[in-house]
Structure 1
Amino acid sequence: MPRRSTPRSVPESRTPEHPNGDEVNRRLAALIDVAGTVSRSLDLDITLNRALDKVMALAHADAGGILLYHERSRTLSYRVYRGLSEEFVRKIGRIGLGEGIAGRAAELRKPIISDDIARDPRITRPLPGIEQFKAFMSIPLVARGRLLGVMNISTRDARGFPPEAVSLVSSISDQVAVAIENAQLYEALKRKERTRGDLLRKLISIQEEERKRIARGLHDEISQSLTGLAFNLEAVLATLPPDATETRGKLEEIKTLSIRMLEEIHRVIYQLRPSLLDDLGLVAAVQWLADNYLEEAGIRVSFETIGTERTLAPEAQIALFRIAQEAITNIVRHSNATRVNISVEFKKRSAAVHIEDDGKGFNVEEIMGSRETDRGLGLLGMKERAELLEGRLAIDSSPSRGTRIDVEIPG
């Protein structure tokens, strides 16, 4: 019977005895090199691939892979690999904690080495092509006491892994584990941001639909009723005898009040959802904001269109309009401006609105950080609307220097 190789378990703290200066320098250079390589990206797959390539090159390995640990199922599975067949990886599937060499290394949180993996008694599954490998090393990846996975490397000949290689790879594994933890945290953050973004998009969509519904209701019911009242009052006034001056005066007051209410309701309808935006586009809608807010407040307005006006994607158009609406409202309420320059710019793959006033300005960081004020929340809402559509919002202001707002959104 062929003699089975004796597996080795190597404590994480084991180092070669009395390493010379050259060996220490090599180890330090390798650690610095790996740390720099794996920290260049927060993308998990890029980090894992770079780490595996570096470790395999330093250890002169012919094959290898990184298995990530799944806390809920307490299993390991390959995420990236080199020199292994897809059939081999598929056959391995998920490895339980404590199962096989990799599972055992993860459970013990210590490197395990086998001089002949094909004959190792801990290999309990038939794995295709395992006979082509000889020396095998499995190193746990642990960061801040938390198991993240295991890194396996192997050779196709009997040269094995000397103690200094084991020590070097074990030291490198700490750097790799921290990089993996950072990448996983970044992935989790991106997932949360995507979920938050989806919810915000849904909320904004619901809000816009509700605004349209309310505007339609105001137009179809209250606005038409007031219009009818004004016409009826006009008809009654036409039938009054010349000497009914007191009655005429009271009816004229009611008529004037009803017309004023009708104008205010039309203003509210346009605030909720201007038909100009749907019918004539962004330029006409922003021009309406300038005419009905700024000029009415006694602020002079310079308005221009840059580029050739075109139809925008509905979500981009409404976002730019709402941001312009918030900016103009803030100018009227807070700026004490006497002049405002507005431009709507159409680029090849995006559109932008630029609004600049000569008002008293403000401390951007202070106001943006004040979430308890309407103004602070309004500015944050503008920023979120732009970023949800992969756009950008820039606010340039300081006390006594006026304010400039630039927003650009793809569309």
Structure 2
Amino acid sequence: MRWFRLVSLRLQVIVLVVSFTLAVGLGNVFRAHLALEDLAREQFERRSVATALGLAAQASDLVLTGDLFGLYDLLNSTLVNTPDVRYILVLDAGGGVRAHTFGPGIPRGLAAANTVLEGEPWRVRRLNTEEGEVVDVAVPLPEEAGGVLRLGMSQQVLQATINRHTTHLLGLAAASLLPVLLVTYILGRALTQPLLKLVEVTNAIRQGDWSRKAPTNGRDEVARLGQSFNAMTEALVQSQTALQARNEELAALYAIATTTAHLDTVDSLLEAALTKSLEVMGLRTGWIFLAGNEGDGEPVLRAARGLPAGAEARLAEDCLPVQPAVLEEAVIAHNGQPCPCLPAGSADDASLCHAAVPLRSRARMWGTMHLACPAPGCFTPSHLQLLTAIGRQVGVAIENVRLAEIERREAFQRRLLEQVIGAQEEERKRIARELHDELAQNLAALSRELESVAQTPAIASPPLQSRIRDTRTLTLRLLEQTRRLIFDLRPPALDDLGLLPAIRRYARHHLDEAGVALHLRTEGAKRRLPPAVETALFRIAQEAITNVVRHARASRVILSLRFAPACITLTVTDDGVGFTPSPPWTTGDGGWGVGLLGMRERAELLGGRLTLDARPGAGTTVQVDIPLEEA
């Protein structure tokens, strides 16, 4: 039935109705034909029996009188005068033929084809012959005459009559199709015409004519379909309008974002944003106020377009309906009256109406953008919604530029700090080297010379010997202090042996003097680290140990180094008095604060992190984690 869907609905209706009517008509004709045939057969059989009974009554007298000529005459006259009769047989009691209507002879087997049983008034049997079906009626003759009369009647005439009536009925059925076709055509047209109009409207809408409406006359299903179609069309128009407005909004936001994406200063950003916003809105006049002093000061005019000469100096913020700080969405600051923000006679009469747009990012208010329009009422709600989105986009861009400026300053400060620390370490190296090469060597030479002088026999005066010994002792003390100063400035073990030996020697030397027990722990495969990492970790450990000696009043310090493939961790834990750190890790008396800040800066310069865990009475733990590049 797929082909059935390829034709029009009107033709489908006509084909369906005509097919149904034809099927019903043919069915009725067939049923009438069968009923007529059954009735005719029954009547024909009754007529055959009646004819046979009448003929038997007449023939019995002739048989009794032995009038064979009269019997043949009776049979032949009946055969001639009755068109349906095909043959007549008169049989004797023994089954022999007394008379018949066959000329040359009786067909073989015909005499015995139908016999009457004893007690039956007659017997009917249908025989198939060359001429068709024959109704054979056997009627017994009276006992005096004896025998049986056989009458054969053909149904050809009856069948022809039935066929003629059936043909007549078929003709009537065919004739009845004409009004059915007419009615079906009218009905199909009435049903499909609104649908065709609906298809026409659909094609028009497909081509972009959204003003066309489907017919809705009447209260039938087609009318309801038209109403639903019109409602759907209106919804599509609204959806398309909203989608188009949204696309325009997104295009405007994309244009703003594209324009401001690569700008690295606030002023260039504001100039570009104002120019693009005026272009998007189709306006010429606008200006931007930005809060001074990073958002806390008075608003400052930072960008303007289309203002007459001298107008920028007289612009003010008093035209806003609310304070700029609480402005959440774009509003019409003035509509239809001279605007106090603009001097009289501004270019293009732009002072008749202008909108104020907040420039926000998250919860921060950066300033306001003002767009002036030459006609009152030119800002629709959709325009204000778009301007609000533009304001947020510009606010986010301002924040990004400010963050980028902060990042650049911090990066510059980090580079500067790296250079300062590097220069400091180099200067420490130089001073330590000069102290070792000059002062320490000279003090050692002076000590040896004093010892040599003290052992000279010529100097035997006890007071002089005592002064020489005191001078040598002072010289040795100065030499020891110089060596300690050299070690504090730049321990040679750090460059020669690495981080672990340098920290071990420094910690034992200083903690032993302070009476603090040292427990040194290491984990992982010990190895040399990059010089910058070793220097930073040594300085952090040096500062932590110094703080323990000066402030912690501890009895034990646990110093651990954990070597991991991608990280090195230094932990210094004491059981001292502890403290309550406050941001940024400073105490009220400044005891730990400056040193901790220096430790944190050294760790962060190498991409690491310093963690402080300190509580009053519970000791202090300083941990620093520095990432390493895997070998």
Which letter does structure 1 place at the counterpart of 2:411?
R
Residue 597 of structure 2 corresponds to which residue in structure 1?
380
User: Residue 391 and residue 185 in structure 1: after superposition, are their counterparts in 2 closer, same or farther (change >3 A)?
Assistant: same
User: Residue 329 and residue 387 in structure 1: after superposition, are their counterparts in 2 closer, same or farther (change >3 A)?
Assistant: same
Matched, 1:404 2:610: no
Which letter does structure 2 place at the counterpart of 1:360?
V
Question: 1-side partners of 2:370 and 2:441: how far apart?
Answer: 69
Unaligned 5+ segments in structure 1 are 1-21, 31-54, 79-95, 111-138, 151-161
For residues 192-239 of structure 1, the C-alpha deviation after alignment (integer angstroms, 9 at most, x for no partner) is 211111111111111111111111111111100011011112222333
Match of 2:533 among 316, 330, 342: 316
1:59-74 alignment to 2 at 5 Å? 59=249, 64-65=254-255, 66=257, 67-68=259-260, 72=267
Residue 498 of structure 2 corresponds to which residue in structure 1?
281
User: Residue 64 and residue 175 in structure 1: after superposition, are their counterparts in 2 closer, same or farther (change >3 A)?
Assistant: closer
Q: Does the residue aligned with 2:612 lie in a helix, a strand or coil? A: strand
For residues 307-355 of structure 1, the C-alpha deviation after alignment (integer angstroms, 9 at most, x for no partner) is 1122222222111111111110010011110000001221212222100
How far off its partner does 1:165 sit?
A: 5.1
The answer as to whether partners of 1:106 and 1:140 remain within 8 angstroms in 2 is: no
Match of 1:101 among 276, 279, 297: 279
Question: 2-side partners of 1:352 and 1:386: how far apart?
Answer: 11
For residues 52-84 of structure 1, the C-alpha deviation after alignment (integer angstroms, 9 at most, x for no partner) is xxx966957599432227655688669xxxxxx
Q: Does the residue aligned with 2:528 lie in a helix, a strand or coil? A: coil
Question: 1-side partners of 2:421 and 2:408: how far apart?
Answer: 20
Which letter does structure 1 place at the counterpart of 2:397?
I
Matched, 1:200 2:417: yes
The answer as to whether partners of 1:98 and 1:105 remain within 8 angstroms in 2 is: no
User: Residue 297 and residue 168 in structure 1: after superposition, are their counterparts in 2 closer, same or farther (change >3 A)?
Assistant: same
Question: 2-side partners of 1:327 and 1:227: how far apart?
Answer: 32
Matched, 1:223 2:440: yes
Residue 360 of structure 1 corresponds to which residue in structure 2?
577
How far off its partner does 1:256 sit?
A: 1.7
Matched, 1:248 2:476: no
Q: Does the residue aligned with 2:579 lie in a helix, a strand or coil? A: coil
The structure whose Rg is larger is 2
Residue 263 of structure 1 corresponds to which residue in structure 2?
480
The answer as to whether partners of 2:584 and 2:597 remain within 8 angstroms in 1 is: no
Residue 337 of structure 2 corresponds to which residue in structure 1?
none
Question: 2-side partners of 1:107 and 1:331: how far apart?
Answer: 67
Residue 552 of structure 2 corresponds to which residue in structure 1?
335
Match of 1:369 among 564, 568, 586: 586
1:5-404 alignment to 2 at 5 Å? 59=249, 64-65=254-255, 66=257, 67-68=259-260, 72=267, 97=275, 101=279, 107-108=285-286, 142-143=359-360, 144=365, 146=367, 166-240=383-457, 244-365=461-582, 368-370=585-587, 373=590, 375-404=592-621
User: Residue 175 and residue 204 in structure 1: after superposition, are their counterparts in 2 closer, same or farther (change >3 A)?
Assistant: same
Which letter does structure 2 place at the counterpart of 1:108?
G
Q: Over aligned residues, Cα RMSD in angstroms?
A: 3.8
For residues 359-402 of structure 1, the C-alpha deviation after alignment (integer angstroms, 9 at most, x for no partner) is 00011117823587353111111111111221111110111110
User: Residue 337 and residue 374 in structure 1: after superposition, are their counterparts in 2 closer, same or farther (change >3 A)?
Assistant: closer
Q: Does the residue aligned with 1:368 lie in a helix, a strand or coil? A: coil
Unaligned 5+ segments in structure 2 are 1-234, 289-355, 372-378
The answer as to whether partners of 1:223 and 1:262 remain within 8 angstroms in 2 is: yes
Residue 344 of structure 2 corresponds to which residue in structure 1?
none
The aligned length equals: 304
Residue 179 of structure 2 corresponds to which residue in structure 1?
none
For residues 14-60 of structure 1, the C-alpha deviation after alignment (integer angstroms, 9 at most, x for no partner) is xxxxxxxx9xxx9xxx9xxxxxxxxxxxxxxxxxxxxxxxx966957
Please give the TM-score of this superposition, normalised by the length of structure 2.
Answer: 0.43
Question: 1-side partners of 2:252 and 2:486: how far apart?
Answer: 71
Q: Does the residue aligned with 2:526 lie in a helix, a strand or coil? A: coil
Question: 2-side partners of 1:98 and 1:167: how far apart?
Answer: 16
The answer as to whether partners of 1:74 and 1:97 remain within 8 angstroms in 2 is: no
Identity of aligned residues (%): 34
Q: Which moved more, 1:231-240 or 1:320-329?
A: 231-240
Question: 2-side partners of 1:342 and 1:74: how far apart?
Answer: 53
How far off its partner does 1:248 sit?
A: 2.9
The answer as to whether partners of 1:396 and 1:403 remain within 8 angstroms in 2 is: yes
Which letter does structure 1 place at the counterpart of 2:613?
D
